[in-house]
Structure 1
């Protein structure tokens, strides 16, 4: 039925179990496909973990098993974290470097100093096998998850908690826009983006605009975060002034866009948001 609550779900508890198992079963199917390119495989596996963790955050106050299952999902994600197709720092470096002039030899030497290969490498097959074992165990437990509360009551506290966390992360990033602060703000925005997607059907025409705005904000923050990490990596490089200046210029533009959108997007209090969405939920469930 997809990554969304459905009118066919008999309860919120059963919906959470279904959605989680669909994501984890989808990952197991991907892992069983020998024809799937590794970069595409890892990308989809990571997406399924993120979706499942966001789902659990939505019901966190009503799910006693949250800490255990969230930790298990986090650990499963870490098993494949080194198998990404491209290093973000390398990609960001190359992107910014393409818009400045620097002697090729000097640029290559700078890149070698900044973009260092990961120590030791990884055994991809072993990491993927470990990931498969972990998510299979979580999927088996998911069929017995207990969620207290019925209907929107099981979602309201988690929705408000995540919305408030995103607002706090926004304020922290505005005061000190380091790579880590922007990363945290983006994570909290992505949590809410997933929550809105889970609730798409309560009023699709309205929710689609909200989801699109959250997606734009998340992507803008992701690009700004990548530039912030690059700027931090270049801070001790004497010959990187032009590259660092260009990265800072682009980061400032993205941060300005993110601040404007973030202030608009998070202008409403958590209680107001959940009150509106509860009303839409009740009408949807009664129809």
Structure 2
């Protein structure tokens, strides 16, 4: 099985299966993957679990939905200090690949080394507290044991339509807000909404595989643009607006300029990509999805 609704299963069976598989995959990552790879994988899967819950939000009821969403959100936040530092390091590598030929050879080395040192410190502190080996394992196991609290009783896939419409509409609104008031917060909000729509397109692959594979790919590309931009903004905040140990002011000014240039490039690409994805009115999008489901589901 995979992260998608299977036509041979009822909706409630699908939801329980997918949630169980994602939680189990988190536990497997903790056992088998390198710690920073595991953290990245778990963070992604926690977001997938939240997207799954959003899809059946109306069926669950607001109280149950919020309880589940907050649980996985807070668990993801506990991983953020380690994951953010890894993202900083990866973003420095991307900047080096993109601009390194135009700078002196070791321009990025001291920045990356400082970030790696801090990440090692944070990781070691968590390991000393048995965060990965005990606390995180217990929290994930607890989530798996409570899957019966996901109150999805309907076998009618049409109950997902309000959730689909809500995610699409909020994404469209977030797009407009991001370019009307461009700042890290508005683009971060749009990024979150786009990721939920991306995961929903993954879940609906079986409705019309050829269409939804293409849709998933296009929304994934948008999510990558916005995700890379978000990583740049976090790095900029870390390096430029803090007491980071630069060699000199020129290095600080240059890294800020590089981040801005690449961010502008990503946001230009995201604007066109987003306009295409959110071209429909939310009601029209919902009605189109409803027709596809009626034609090719049960």
Normalised to the residue count of structure 2, the TM-score between the two structures is 0.83
Deviation at 1:63, TM superposition (A): 1.0
Distance 1:150 1:124 in 2: 43
Deviation at 1:54, TM superposition (A): 0.6
Residue of structure 1 equivalent to 2:204: 199
Normalised to the residue count of structure 1, the TM-score between the two structures is 0.86
Given that 2:171 and 2:194 are in contact with CA atoms closer than 8 Å, whether structure 1 keeps it comes out as yes
Q: Are 2:126 and 1:123 aligned?
A: yes
Give runs of aligned pairs for residues 8-87 of structure 1, distance below 5 A.
8-10=8-10, 12-31=11-30, 33=31, 35-64=32-61, 65-84=64-83, 87=86
The structure in which a higher percent of residues are helix is 2
Gaps of at least 5 residues in structure 2 are 243-247
Deviation at 1:41, TM superposition (A): 2.0
Distance 2:69 2:222 in 1: 25
Deviation at 1:94, TM superposition (A): 4.8
Provide closer, same or farther for how the CA distance between residues 107 and 36 of structure 1 changes in structure 2, counting only shifts above 3 A.
Answer: closer
Distance 2:232 2:136 in 1: 30
Number of paired residues?
Answer: 282
Deviation at 1:235, TM superposition (A): 6.1
Worse-superposed segment, 45-54 or 173-182: 173-182
Deviation at 1:258, TM superposition (A): 0.5
Distance 1:250 1:159 in 2: 32
SS in 2 for 1:42: helix
Residue of structure 1 equivalent to 2:276: 264
Given that 2:85 and 2:115 are in contact with CA atoms closer than 8 Å, whether structure 1 keeps it comes out as no
CA RMSD of aligned residues (A): 2.8
